[in-house]
Structure 1
Amino acid sequence: MTGEIPRKEIMETEGKSPAVRLSNAHSRELGEVIRRIRRAVEMPAPKVTEALGWSLGKLSKLEKGTRGTSAVDIAALLGFCRADKTARDHVLSITAEPDTGSFLRTHHQRPDTLTALSVHEEIAETITAYDPVTVPDLAQTEDYALALTGDPDLVTARRNRQRLLQHQSGPRVVFYVHEMALRLAVGDPKVMRDQLLHLLLMCEWPHTTLRVVPLAVGLHAYLRHPYTLLTFEAPNKPLVYTETDVATAFHDNPDAVAAYRQKMRHLDTAALDAEQTRRKLSWWTGLYDRKAA
């Protein structure tokens, strides 16, 4: 993992002495939402800054999450971009949130559409994911995801997220797959066979590692819930997210991240190694292949 080295950036705060500010998960989400609103109406950055009397640097830092600004400034920006009420309410609700190092985003059973998720996966250096009962989202085939969710739009969004794994410059990824996810059939045997074949292929991908957590390890606290850890280029802090049916919680609070790192260390100890994982996946693939015949 990369070290966390504080980087000092000067806030451009009119009328106030300079202050130190570091990008975090909350500010990056806010900046990305604002950037998407501006680009959706094809409003060039120079036109916005000229109209608002801002520097290009101020807008750039705001959209990257490396500076703060007032709610009045953000409202002026949204007004100039003619954002609709839904977009305005969304941005202003994020702006008004206390920055505690943890925040919750409701997703109405479509977590793949969350801005806070996509913006951080796109810049992650590493992604480590665990799920106790299903194959992790980024490792799912389309048929498996559809059988699991019944939502074609969600499947499309999930497929779009997965594209980053194929890039040469994409993140290094580790998937911990519990053997229960291999045992619990999602869809028919053909769906499961193809899903497990996909996992076997992923074992050969250069930036991807799969580790099966065997049923024999029993039930422990660190195995009960799904979680994903993302790390970034220093000095950005790691981020953990955990998903429920209706909301996803994001944490870059150091104490919360440390707790999940400890869980990951337990997972690393409990999981099969690479060759054992291939053998386990091959065995289950053969079983579903016979059932699909």
Structure 2
Amino acid sequence: MDSPTVLRRRLGSELRRLRERTGLQAKSAADTLRFSATKISRIESGQTTLKESDVRALLELYGVTDEAELRQFISLTRRSTQRGWWHDYGDALPDWFQTYVGMESDASRVRAYEIELIPGLFQTADYARAIFRTSPSGQSQDEIERRVKLRIQRQEIFRRPDPPAVWAILNEAVLRRPVGGPEVMSGQILHLIDLAQKYDVTIQVLPLSIGTHASMSCAFHILSFADVPGEVVYVEALTSSLYLERESDIAHHELAFTRLSESAMSPKDSLSWMQEIATERHGRDN
């Protein structure tokens, strides 16, 4: 079953298609309905929960009168307002990150480039715990454990009937940094190797020795979906995030990802290198 987040994106995509079919600009639609331009943008990108009254007003503006089509849109609207499993972790999940978790849960492909961290989908509980303990927000131990549980729950997507293909390019510094100490880091690296051997997971290491590269300034994720047109680029900051959907933005990040992949070790060499690093850390710990 599709998540509410993906259903909102599907609904938003259909509403955008209808608006463009009528020849209306987003600002004109917003002005006619006394919406803000931002509201139309968030509706069409699936970043907000839709009210039935808003959907009905948009459909009327776009000239949708067929009863069957109207019922289909209203049904999709109602399904998109249902709670996803991650809402049970609302106390441990920032509002700005909920959209990402919803998208991730239904993505058919995730491509990630990380500069400092192991991607959340790959983190062990001990690694995640060590990260959360250094959070500047000063969380209690119970809050930390809730966030760890959420992070591990996200990884259930690997065991769904149609798991996503996940391709991660990791800066070498991600694997060199001893998060939680040598033992925790060794276990984390071995976990990466296990994921790559069990699931449709590709991992490449970007060596520090290559010098400058295609994305020096930021990490990013590119999410693709089987039943929803278009892709989404996710860029995260400390207290907020960006969801980029313009074709030019997508193309820019896809080109950067391609060039990063060309500069990185091959997947086979990356796994061999990680095995050496894990063995080295384990020996050092003993």
When normalised by structure 2's length, the TM-score is: 0.68
Give CA deviations for 1:104-132 in whole Å, capped at 9, x if unaligned.
Answer: xxx99955973311221122110001111
Deviation at 1:291, TM superposition (A): 2.3
Give CA deviations for 1:165-205 in whole Å, capped at 9, x if unaligned.
Answer: 23230111101111111111101111001001101101202
The equivalent residue for 1:69 is none
- For 1:148, the aligned partner's letter is I
Identity percentage over the alignment?
A: 22
The equivalent residue for 1:134 is 117
Are residues 287 and 19 of structure 1, via their aligned partners in 2, closer, same or farther at CA, if it must alter by over 3 Å? same
CA contact (8 A) 1:112 1:161 kept: no
Are residues 112 and 156 of structure 1, via their aligned partners in 2, closer, same or farther at CA, if it must alter by over 3 Å? farther
The equivalent residue for 2:74 is 59
Are residues 10 and 137 of structure 1, via their aligned partners in 2, closer, same or farther at CA, if it must alter by over 3 Å? closer
Q: How does 1:113-192 map to 2 (within 5 A)?
A: 114-150=97-133, 151-192=144-185
The equivalent residue for 2:200 is 207
The equivalent residue for 2:47 is 29
Q: Where does structure 2 lack aligned partners over 5 or more consecutive residues?
A: 1-12, 25-40, 53-69, 82-89, 134-143
Greater shift in the superposed pair: 148-157 or 267-276? 148-157
CA contact (8 A) 1:176 1:210 kept: yes
Residue 170 of structure 1: SS of its match in structure 2?
coil
Aligned residue among 271, 288, 292 for 2:285: 292
Structure 2: how far apart are the matches of 1:112 and 1:128?
23
Are residues 111 and 292 of structure 1, via their aligned partners in 2, closer, same or farther at CA, if it must alter by over 3 Å? farther
The equivalent residue for 1:252 is 245
Deviation at 1:279, TM superposition (A): 1.2
Q: How does 1:204-283 map to 2 (within 5 A)?
A: 204-233=197-226, 236-283=229-276
- For 1:263, the aligned partner's letter is A
Give CA deviations for 1:63-104 in whole Å, capped at 9, x if unaligned.
Answer: 467xxxxxxxxxxx9xxxxxxxxxxxxxxxxxxxxxxxxxxx
CA contact (8 A) 2:110 2:166 kept: yes
Structure 2: how far apart are the matches of 1:255 and 1:137?
27
Q: Where does structure 1 lack aligned partners over 5 or more consecutive residues?
A: 1-7, 36-54, 66-76, 78-106
- For 1:29, the aligned partner's letter is Q
CA contact (8 A) 1:239 1:250 kept: yes
Greater shift in the superposed pair: 213-222 or 238-247? 213-222
- For 1:202, the aligned partner's letter is L
Are residues 187 and 229 of structure 1, via their aligned partners in 2, closer, same or farther at CA, if it must alter by over 3 Å? same
